[in-house]
Amino acid sequence: MPNVTVIGAQWGDEGKGKIVDWLSERADVVVRFQGGHNAGHTLVVGNQVYKLSLLPSGIVRGTLSLIGNGVVFDPWHFAGEVEKLRGQGVTITPENLAVAEQCPLILPLHRDLDALREDAMGAGKIGTTRRGIGPAYEDKAGRRALRVCDLAHLDAIGPQLDRLLAHHNALRAGFGVAAVDRDELVAQLATVAPAVLPYIQPVWALLRDARGRRDRILFEGAQGVLLDVDHGTYPFVTSSNVVAGQAAAGSGMGPSATGYVLGIVKAYTTRVGAGPFPTEQDNATGERLGTRGHEFGTVTGRKRRCGWFDAVLVRQAIAVSGVAGMALTKLDVLDGFETLNICTGYRLDGRIIDQLPAHAADQARLEPLYEAFEGWSESTAGARRWADLPAQAIKYIRRIEELTGCPVALVSTSPEREDTILVRDPFQD
């Protein structure tokens, strides 16, 4: 049975949490491989709503859940999220949750720098979550980060802390902010360390052993391909690689182990924060999509921008991530629209193009070319069989498959985990 890698194929918020939760019933191991606690995943199980941002979605089912080395790790948020989920009745122990030793730590100084930069950028704001994700990845690349394994060796972090503070105190001085209190930071780390230490393990070795047992492994991505630092709408992107190829580097497994790539695709398009959005509907249509889809960020609570389905962007995301099948989510939000529009191409300075240009200035000038599509009046909400879908909704799905060149493997028709239509099982494909 193959392993499965789940990635978002738009700008995030595609409904990955529900799909990973649904798939985790078929998996033995779930591993997060990039991002941090800026990733919001909402799971609805009966009357209970679980909001995750750092922990793998499989933890709610009790599936062995791993935080891979590609994740930037806020130990204070980790401790709080664990306690919150325990309060909701979720069992979390070192037997079903592990954190990679190599994860870079997100520290208070990273959150400070994130906020200072955003406030100083004016019209150039990126629209970050201000949670320190970008600065933490910068320190990892700059070889000055403290890592999860350092929590077990706080008496030996002096030289590394010198490297870190030399960089950050210079930046803070430029912003007119006081230097980091070194002793206070060490004391804070010593206080939070006991909440993390029991979970620290060599995740790569756990995955090696799982593969040796022929366990089914589910690789869980965060954000979406259009936020990838290389392939997204730069500079309005996240600070890590989101494409499926990162599953190998961010977990400690070779690329041959990452298996079937499932791209999560919303039946329309949304985006949080600044940046280009060719099919955005800043009008009554966008309001209707946002209201019906409850489009508010799980992490930030920010209202999401909404627009029509963009086949150009999804086709490009599928290509750069090697997506084998799509999970189409929030189909029910489109119930009752008389006409739906699908973007099939762009016009840029009079030329018709079929891909997203790399430069932000070109992206901002794109004019979407739409294909009008007849909607459906029947409800798709809660459908669990292909035969339960209205004929016109099926035609919409088929048209998306044609335009993106990728088959649909799953269809989600509500936030409830069981309201899912299985077209083809990724674990058996």
Q: From CA 177, how far away is CA 206, in angstroms rounded?
A: 43
Phi, psi of 244 (to 5 degrees): -60, -30
Instruction: Tell me whether residue 294 is one of the annotated catalytic residues.
Output: no
User: Burial level of 395, CB count in 10 A (0-12/13-18/19+)?
Assistant: middle
What would the 3-class secondary structure string for 126-156 be? CCCCCCCHHHHHHHHHCCCCCEHHHHHCHHH
Check if the beta carbon of residue 30 is closer than 8 Å to that of residue 63: yes
**Residue appearing with tokens 């960020």:** 297
For residue 382, the number of C-alpha atoms closer than 13 Å in the C-beta half-sphere is 3
Q: From CA 68, how far away is CA 102, in angstroms rounded?
A: 8
Quickly count: other Cβ atoms within 10 Å of residue 52's Cβ: 26
Query: Which tokens go with 182?
Result: 């070194």
DSSP letter assigned to residue 307? E
Of 41, 77, 168, 231, the catalytic one is 41
Q: In angstroms, what CA-CA distances link 183 with 36, 132, 179, 258, 319?
A: 26, 21, 12, 42, 49
Please name which of 237, 233, 301, 309 lies closest in space to residue 266, comparing C-alpha atoms.
309
Instruction: Tell me whether residue 13 is one of the annotated catalytic residues.
Output: yes
Beta bridge partners of 367: 347
Of 13, 21, 150, 332, the catalytic one is 13
Quick one: which H or E segment has residue 310?
strand 309-310
DSSP for 235-293, written as a single string:
TSS-SS--STTHHHHTTT--GGGS-EEEEEEESSEEE-SSS--TTB--SHHHHHHHHHT
- Is the Cα dihedral 157, 160, 163, 169 positive or negative? negative
Query: Which tokens go with 24?
Result: 């985790």
- Residues labelled catalytic: 13, 41
